[in-house]
Each structure stands twice: as C-alpha cells, then as structure tokens.
A and B are shown apart, each in its own frame.
Chain A
Amino acid sequence: MELVWIVLIVLAVIVIGGILIYNGLVQRRLRIDEAFAQIEVQLKRRWDLIPNLVNAVKGYMGFEQSVLENVTQARANAVTAGAQGPAAQAQAEGMLTGALRSLFAVVENYPELKANQNVLELQEQLTTTENQIGFARQHYNAVVLDYNTSIATIPNVLIAGPFGFSKREFFDAEPEAAQVPTVDLGTYNPPSAG
C-alpha cells in the first residue's frame, strides 16, 4: 500500500514540476515578442522626428542638399521596409542610422547651426531616440539569452524539446553599423576656424 502512495506522490511532483517549467518557458518566449515590439515603437518614434530635423536645418544648409536628401530618402525607405519583414527592415534602419550620422557630422561645421536652440533640442531628441533603440535591442537580446539558456539547461531541456521550444536569434548589429559614415561636402568650403 505504501509503495503505491510513494509512486503517486513522485508522479504528482513530476507532473506539477513539468507544468511549472512549461509555463516558465512560455512566459520567457512571450517576453521576447514583447521586447521585439518595443524596438518597433522606438523605430517609429525616430521616423516621426526626422522631418522636423530636416526642416530645422534646411534653411542653413543650402549647399548640403545631397546630405539632407539622403536622410529623407533613407527615412522613406525605412518606413516602407517595415512591411517587408525583419531582415529588410533591419537593413533599411541601418542605412537610416548611417545617413543621420553623416548629417550630424556635417552640422559640426556650421557654428550657427550648432548654437541654434531648435537644432540642439532635436539633436538631443535624436540622441535619446538612438539610445532608446539601442537599449530596446539590448533588452531584447537579454530576454533571448534568458530564454535560450533556460531551454538548454536541465531540467527544462526535458520539457523544451518535446513541446517545441526552439532557440531564438539575437539582434545583431547591421553590417552598416561598423562602417564610418562618409561625409560629402560637395563644392562647399566650410568657414575656417578662428
């Protein structure tokens, strides 16, 4: 009689433990989806800020049309790429980041522009947006790490395999991020210092 009880208790512990592990894995997987959605939120925020920035600097930067046009075009591409899937989107957002970097590198050569209050505020806005995108991606990678670790460790691995929990990918930096932005000043000579 006692043996039956022991077997029942052991079975109950296994089943309850299995349920708890399964629920934990589901929660971690959902966190990944949430973190990905948060990145989207930040990307959209950047799309909205850019037209304001271009308008603020356009009056001063008569000779830098190509740089401004690059930024506007890259933004348009990023908005449409949103519907084309994560890979296309990541590439388009990377090009937008590069175009913005070129723009700010050029702004450095315009003392009037650097001191303009609107431009300074927009620069801070874009800085914080870039940071927020970066931190949203960092958090995404953190929850992916947590999830990948939990499906690979014992005892969770015993539940993860049979119930179809598979590894998720990290958000890698786009190849463009490693490139130094090129600055094309065209025929304009920047004012000399001093």
Chain B
Amino acid sequence: MNPPAVQSFYQQISANRRRSVLLVLLLTALLGVFGFVIGYAVSGAPEGGIVAVVVAVIIALLLSSVSYFAGDSIVLGASGARQVDEASAPQLMNVVREMSIAANVPPPRVYVINDTAPNAFATGRDPQHASVAVTTGLLEKLDREELQGVIGHELSHVRNLDIRFALLVAVLVGSIALLADFFLRFTFWGGLGGGRRSRSGRDGGGGLVIIMIVVGLILAIVAPIVARFVQMAVSRQREYLADASGVELTRNPYGLERALAKISSDREVLEVANRATQHLYFVNPIKKWEDRASGLMATHPPIVERINRLRALTGQAPVDARSVSALAGLD
C-alpha cells in the first residue's frame, strides 16, 4: 500500500482559493449567458440582455447590502451572544489575541453563547469590523490547543474576507434568480420575442428568437438551481480554505483535527441555530440527518473529509467515519 501523500498547507490554500475563484467565474458566465439569452428572447437583440443583467445585479446588491452592513449584529443578537473581556474569559481572550498576532489583524470582538453544544462562528465584513463567538460548550469541552485550532479557523474566515466573498456569490445567485423570475412572468403575461416590435423584422430571425425563448425558459428553471449548487460548493471550498489557513496560523494541524473529532462526536443540538444561519458555524449545527442537506447542498464539507485533509498535512493515513470518535480521545 502506498504511504499517504503529504501536502503542505500552502498547496492546500492555493488549491482551495483557485477552486473557489473558478466556481465564481462559472457563476458569472452563467449569469452572462442567461442575460444574453433573455435579452434576445425579450427584445430580439442581445443589448437588452446587458440592461437586464445590470438591473438584476443592482437589485440583488441592494437586497444583500443589509446583511453585509448589519448582518453581524443581527446574527449575534439572534444567538443571544454576550461580549466578554479579559476579566470574564481570560484564556479565550488570550487565544484570540495570539491568533490575531499570527494573522497580523486587529483582535476581533469576542462573544460567548450560553449553550452546551460546542460550536463557534465569525462574522464581519473585514478584519476591522469582525466578531468571533464561541459557545460555553466549546470552552468546556476543548483544551487550549484545540481551542486555538478553532479560533485560527474562524479568524481565517475573517482575514480571507469570506463574508465579502459570500456576498459576491449571493449577489450573483440572486441576480440569476431575479432574471429567472422576471423572464417567467414575462412569458406568461407579456409578449414573447421581438415579434411585436417593428425592429425585429430586420433580424430576419423569428426562428432564432423562438429558440432563444425556449432556451431562456429552460435556463429560467434550471439556472437558479445550478446556481444554488455552485453557491454551496463555494461555501465548502471556503471552509476547507479556512481549515488550511488556520493551520498556517497555528502551525499545528493536530489541535484542529482533535477539535473537529470532538465536536462531530458530540450529539448535542445548538438551540439558537437554524437553516438561515447554519452556514456561518464552525461545523453544521443542524444535527438531524433529514434536516441537514448532504452532498451537493451542504454548506460544510463532511467532517471526515476535513479531518483527512488535515491528516494529509502531516502524512497520516486517512480515517473513515467510524474512527472519528477515537481521534477525539473519547473512546
């Protein structure tokens, strides 16, 4: 049997970044093609598509801007987080400060959530406006090294500007959804193609317009679904990136690996989380199998995969799902 491959975290970081950028380009191309088709179908000329795309992007941007600017206070308020300082949580503040020094970012505000389920999240549009929250369950169950791994991961989300990245993706996905919605309404209620307009006569392409309409309708149904899949794939890539960047900070994959193993073995449910906020957390807080979307629709990669990628950094053999609790030292 071949010895397990060894990777450096630099390699993993580059690969994860590259994949997430390619996915965003894919989304942009999808938006562009969709806009072109709709423009042709509606006005008989592709220029209309540019107008449609611009309007959709502006609307999507406005809708997303609320969550961009106020999102962190909304999420922190909804989860009942209370801010802590040196006196109330000295070790946590120390670990956060250590990671901020390693990352060369200003230390974020630190919050604690009263819940026995171990989990954590980071919010904030850039390092100057960032917050990190952990549950009391996490503080109790993890040791200092494991806590450092988790905080390194969360701070990496901040320094990789993942909230901004997620906003970009959300605007693209939202624009595609808006265009699809507009086109479907238009075909039901309004005139199809450029047949009504005197201008279209010069195209000589009544047939082409009909093809565009058909393609447009197919895209209007399929494109938003594909866009959501791509959005989830981007989210997963950024989670892998945060794991690898966290190791770049701590230079210690074992802490994060044990933390993941411990948290995944824990069966407690994080009460304040729901579908709307699940993507923010360190591991997906929704434990019930039927509630948590898996595979293509998962916001987080499977924990076993995340552990195995960390094990690849130190040349350890990958494990399967049943061995995870042994890793946590809980057996």
A126 CB to nearest chain B CB (Å): 11
CA separation between A51 and B232, bound complex, in Å? 53
The 4 closest A-B CB pairs, nearest first, are A128-B94, A135-B102, A135-B101, A131-B98
Pair A124/B91 contact, Cβ less than 8 Å:
yes
- Cβ proximity bits A114-127 to B, threshold 8 Å, 1 near / 0 not: 00000001001101
CA separation between A193 and B101, bound complex, in Å? 40
CA separation between A121 and B90, bound complex, in Å? 9
Enumerate chain A residues within 8 angstroms of B94, measured Cβ to Cβ. 124-125, 127-128, 131
Residues of chain B in range 101-154 having any CB-CB distance to chain A below 8 Å: 101-104, 144
The answer to the question of B306 belonging to the interface, with a C-beta cut-off of 8 Å to chain A, is no
The answer to the question of B97 belonging to the interface, with a C-beta cut-off of 8 Å to chain A, is yes
The answer to the question of B251 belonging to the interface, with a C-beta cut-off of 8 Å to chain A, is yes
Pair A132/B104 contact, Cβ less than 8 Å:
no
Pair A135/B98 contact, Cβ less than 8 Å:
yes
Pair B97/A139 contact, Cβ less than 8 Å:
no
Chain B count of residues within 8 A CB distance of the other chain: 14
Enumerate chain B residues within 8 angstroms of A89, measured Cβ to Cβ. none
Pair B90/A132 contact, Cβ less than 8 Å:
no
Known: A128-B94, A138-B102. 16 other contacts (CB 8 A): A42-B101, A124-B90, A124-B91, A124-B94, A127-B94, A128-B95, A128-B98, A131-B94, A131-B98, A132-B98, A135-B98, A135-B249, A136-B101, A138-B251, A139-B102, A139-B104
- Cβ proximity bits A133-157 to B, threshold 8 Å, 1 near / 0 not: 0011011000000000000000000
The answer to the question of A70 belonging to the interface, with a C-beta cut-off of 8 Å to chain B, is no
Enumerate chain A residues within 8 angstroms of B104, measured Cβ to Cβ. 35, 139
The answer to the question of A38 belonging to the interface, with a C-beta cut-off of 8 Å to chain B, is yes
Pair B251/A132 contact, Cβ less than 8 Å:
no
CA separation between A127 and B98, bound complex, in Å? 11
- Of B97, B103, B144, B249, the contact of A132 (CB 8 Å cutoff): B97
Most buried by B among A125, A127, A135: A135
Pair A128/B102 contact, Cβ less than 8 Å:
no
Write the residues of chain B forming the contact surface with A, with a CB cutoff of 8 angstroms: 90-91, 94-95, 97-99, 101-104, 144, 249, 251
- Of B97, B249, B251, the contact of A128 (CB 8 Å cutoff): B97
Q: What are 28 A-B pairs at a CB distance below 8 A?
A: A35-B104, A38-B101, A42-B101, A121-B90, A124-B90, A124-B94, A125-B94, A127-B94, A127-B144, A128-B91, A128-B94, A128-B95, A128-B97, A128-B98, A131-B94, A131-B98, A132-B97, A132-B98, A132-B101, A135-B101, A135-B249, A136-B101, A138-B102, A138-B251, A139-B101, A139-B102, A139-B103, A139-B104
Most buried by A among B90, B98, B103: B98
Most buried by A among B97, B102, B251: B102
B92 CB to nearest chain A CB (Å): 11
CA separation between A138 and B248, bound complex, in Å? 10
Q: Which residue of B lies closest to A121 (CB)?
A: B90
Enumerate chain A residues within 8 angstroms of B90, measured Cβ to Cβ. 121, 124
Q: Which residue of B lies closest to A35 (CB)?
A: B104
Q: Which residue of A lies closest to B101 (CB)?
A: A135
Q: Which residue of A lies closest to B251 (CB)?
A: A138
Enumerate chain B residues within 8 angstroms of A124, measured Cβ to Cβ. 90-91, 94
Enumerate chain A residues within 8 angstroms of B251, measured Cβ to Cβ. 138
CA separation between A124 and B95, bound complex, in Å? 10
B174 CB to nearest chain A CB (Å): 35
CA separation between A7 and B26, bound complex, in Å? 38
CA separation between A139 and B249, bound complex, in Å? 9
Q: Which residue of A lies closest to B103 (CB)?
A: A139
Enumerate chain A residues within 8 angstroms of B144, measured Cβ to Cβ. 127
CA separation between A159 and B253, bound complex, in Å? 38
A127 CB to nearest chain B CB (Å): 8
Enumerate chain B residues within 8 angstroms of A136, measured Cβ to Cβ. 101
Q: Which residue of A lies closest to B91 (CB)?
A: A124
B103 CB to nearest chain A CB (Å): 8
Q: Which residue of B lies closest to A131 (CB)?
A: B98
Q: Which residue of B lies closest to A31 (CB)?
A: B104
CA separation between A102 and B123, bound complex, in Å? 41
Residues of chain A in range 32-48 having any CB-CB distance to chain B below 8 Å: 35, 38, 42
CA separation between A127 and B144, bound complex, in Å? 10
A91 CB to nearest chain B CB (Å): 23
Q: Which residue of B lies closest to A124 (CB)?
A: B91
A193 CB to nearest chain B CB (Å): 23
Q: Which residue of A lies closest to B102 (CB)?
A: A135
B199 CB to nearest chain A CB (Å): 39
CA separation between A128 and B102, bound complex, in Å? 13
CA separation between A124 and B249, bound complex, in Å? 20
Enumerate chain A residues within 8 angstroms of B103, measured Cβ to Cβ. 139
